[in-house]
Structure 1
């Protein structure tokens, strides 16, 4: 399926880098861990980093019921959610053409407060499976008190834009000919480190497979 272009989601600057396949949107959201949620609070813009999870074409985020951010987001006529993945730094022969290789997604929507208990339970599982796969089956589930203290919002992914920059430097011909500076890409890769057990675990407690198996991202 293709992304639905709207006035807000149409990419104009660097339009050649726009992606229209909805699968690209899903791939970026599935690869990221933190989104930035843009809301209005007391008439001022706030951008809040928060964990999330995706279920089909719905993005879920959660937080404390005491925090204003999610409550205000659910009451605002519109929010904006952004996820950016940096893949490398592009070194050019001129400083003007230095750049970044990246994959980015921007979603425009009206956030919805999740109040149905079944959907809340599903949303929390989605977020858990996204951040810590395998933990939903391994750890204790939220109890009533914890659920009462948790707020969840849903953001529809119907209106979104995706932009990707890859490849090397785009230099001016005269700079290439002058050959006075190095040009290329310094890729950015990251991987999970060794698990660090809690100090109050029983002696000899093994790291579970779902933690050991996260691998390289």
Structure 2
């Protein structure tokens, strides 16, 4: 799950980025409204965490422009504690949720996962395709035979991307965008290597290849 974190406090931004990545997200960070205005429409983000107080503009104005342009991805705003006017204004501008500072990262993670589940039309905290069940909190996969295996961070992000849209074809480039942030520049061979590792867990026929096009997750019901 790839997120955009818009926060100009560098210490907070670095800390949140590390903790969100540990929770299974791929995180791009930006500290300005102008940078966020450029990134959000062009990258395939599953959600945005948006601080309202940015050095070069209002986060509310930025959110309003996104919504006016038809950008429908979930947005969580960060506000100062007790500033209920910001919360109301943010929701009216098109925010999907808000969190007041200071906050516990565990709450941020839980709220983001809930937003993304709703955007995907799910209510269960587990992602199930056929007999495979992916636990987002434990970053573990249960296979149809009942065995449960813990995944590495990269394995989890890659498998979650494929299982979130079963049957959809993802190119290697698209998978790279979901698994790695803009700060990393791995080669396409990295995706091939992780696909081989995942196939050892789910079976070769579960992740299908269309030569020259990409990969799709297919599990019989």
- The alignment's TM-score, normalised by the length of structure 2, stands at 0.26
**Structure whose CA Rg is larger:** 1
> Which has the larger share of strand?
1
Higher relative contact order (CA 8 A, sep 6+): 1
> Which has the larger share of helix?
2
- The alignment's TM-score, normalised by the length of structure 1, stands at 0.27
